[in-house]
Structure 1
Amino acid sequence: MNKQHDPLATLHEIRNIMDRSSRFISLSGLSGVAAGLSALLGAALVRWHFLEEDIQYRETLGRELTSESIVFVLSIAAGVFLLAVSSAIYFTARNAKRKSHQVWDSKSERMLVNLAIPLAAGGIFCAALFYHELPYLVAPVMLLFYGCALLNASKYTVSDIRYLGILEILLGLFASFYLGFGLLAWTLGFGVLHIVYGALVYFKYER
């Protein structure tokens, strides 16, 4: 029996080695946790601003937002993005160094390209929504494009990111129909789900 199973075990091991060699596996779960915490902070600041200005997140949001409010929201979004990217670079570089892996190679390049294309398209589309005074659709659109980006990049990194992408898409679809929950869905998608995903990846691959 052992002789019969040895070739299968060998083939399975070869397949695992080939799979790891084609994927960027140094992506740190702690970067997901940090991104989620940044998103929660950003959502709290936006919520505080809306309460101070008596702005309701609904179909009339485009008519209620002043230029100052738009600048505030965009500034918060930019800050969250910079914090998330900075933490991703720091924790991933640290994880790669600990595993004696290269941070930048053909695998990480493929992952970033496949991640960046849907994100860039989504960013431009969100700018068009602001231009046409439809800001209440920005949150679901961000979730949808981000989920698609994660699915697109999941072929080149840890497979767990695929499930995060699916959940982001489902949240985006929900928020597309229930517009009043857009900010809540954004908070859950970019905040809570990132923290849960990051913690799971950390304890699964980095402990």
Structure 2
Amino acid sequence: MSEQDYLKDISEIKNLMNRSSRFISLSGLAGIFAGIYALIGAAIAYYLVVNSGRDYLILDGHIFKMILLDLALVALCSIVTAIFITTRKAKEDQVKIWDETTRKLLMSFLVPLITGGIYILIILNQQKYGQTGALMLIFYGLALVNASKFTIGNIKYLGYIEIALGLVCALLPGYGFWIWVLGFGVMHIIYGSFMLIKEKR
């Protein structure tokens, strides 16, 4: 056996070990849908606030509850769609979807995400709305980066972008809504499209 054959075998073994310890069934399509849901949710939120008689994005009373419901529906639709697409893709690839790696992935993702969600609810309850968008982007980005070690792909780069946008949002709170739209809507669609093209190749 030649040295080239040895190197090829070693590369294949390394690839198998890498895939066995990482969750590989993520789909770019799920990211695209998440971005679309975020854009729809943002449009609804903008409509609600504009028609509340205010010309700036401050949430209170009935509008505040409607915005929270809107965000919850965006998150729910994104999660349900991601589970459906990921499960279908895993079956097509003939790989297990629920195993120890999946558990580690979910824990790595949910711990910073839930922590951020609770903190955001606390400051919203204190009627501090200015940094909500920034915090959502930052904690979501941290969750993606934290979970990236259990996925194959470039999801950590999306996480870095979300964190960067969150910091920009903190510096420019007056543009928080639009930066949120860019982070959760546009960036998801761009990243999902990139991953979908990569999958088809």
| TM-score using structure 1 length | 0.92
Which residue of 1 is the match for residue 28 of structure 2? 29
Which residue of 2 is the match for residue 167 of structure 1? 161
Which residue of 1 is the match for residue 13 of structure 2? 14
Which residue of 1 is the match for residue 103 of structure 2? 109
Which residue of 2 is the match for residue 156 of structure 1? 150
Q: Residue deviations 1:70-128, cap 9 Å, x none?
A: 10110100010110001001100110111111221111111111000000100001001
CA root-mean-square deviation: 1.4
What letter is aligned with 1:56? Y
Matched, 1:138 2:132: yes
2:26 counterpart SS class? coil
Of residues 169, 183, 190, the one that matches 1:189 is 183
Which residue of 2 is the match for residue 40 of structure 1? 39
Q: Give the Cα separation in 2 of the matches to 1:74 and 1:123.
A: 12
Structure 2 unaligned segments of length 5 or more: list them: none
Q: Residue deviations 1:148-193, cap 9 Å, x none?
A: 0000000001231010000000000000010011111111111111
What letter is aligned with 2:140? Y
What letter is aligned with 2:172? Y
Deviation larger for 152-161 or 3-12: 3-12
1:15 Cα shift?
Answer: 1.2
Matched residues, number: 200
Structure 1 unaligned segments of length 5 or more: list them: none
Q: Percent identity at matched positions?
A: 40
What letter is aligned with 1:114? S
Deviation larger for 97-106 or 5-14: 5-14
1:69 counterpart SS class? helix
1:34 counterpart SS class? helix
Deviation larger for 191-200 or 173-182: 191-200
Q: Give the Cα separation in 2 of the matches to 1:55 and 1:77.
A: 21
1:8 Cα shift?
Answer: 2.3
Q: Give the Cα separation in 2 of the matches to 1:91 and 1:43.
A: 23
Matched, 1:71 2:70: no
Q: Give the Cα separation in 1 of the matches to 2:68 and 2:43.
A: 14
1:136 counterpart SS class? coil
2:2 counterpart SS class? helix
Q: Give the Cα separation in 1 of the matches to 2:144 and 2:188.
A: 12
Q: Give the Cα separation in 1 of the matches to 2:124 and 2:22.
A: 37
1:3 Cα shift?
Answer: 2.4
Matched, 1:127 2:121: yes
What letter is aligned with 2:56? Q
Deviation larger for 6-15 or 70-79: 6-15
1:128 counterpart SS class? helix
Q: Give the Cα separation in 2 of the matches to 1:206 and 1:76.
A: 33
1:206 Cα shift?
Answer: 4.7
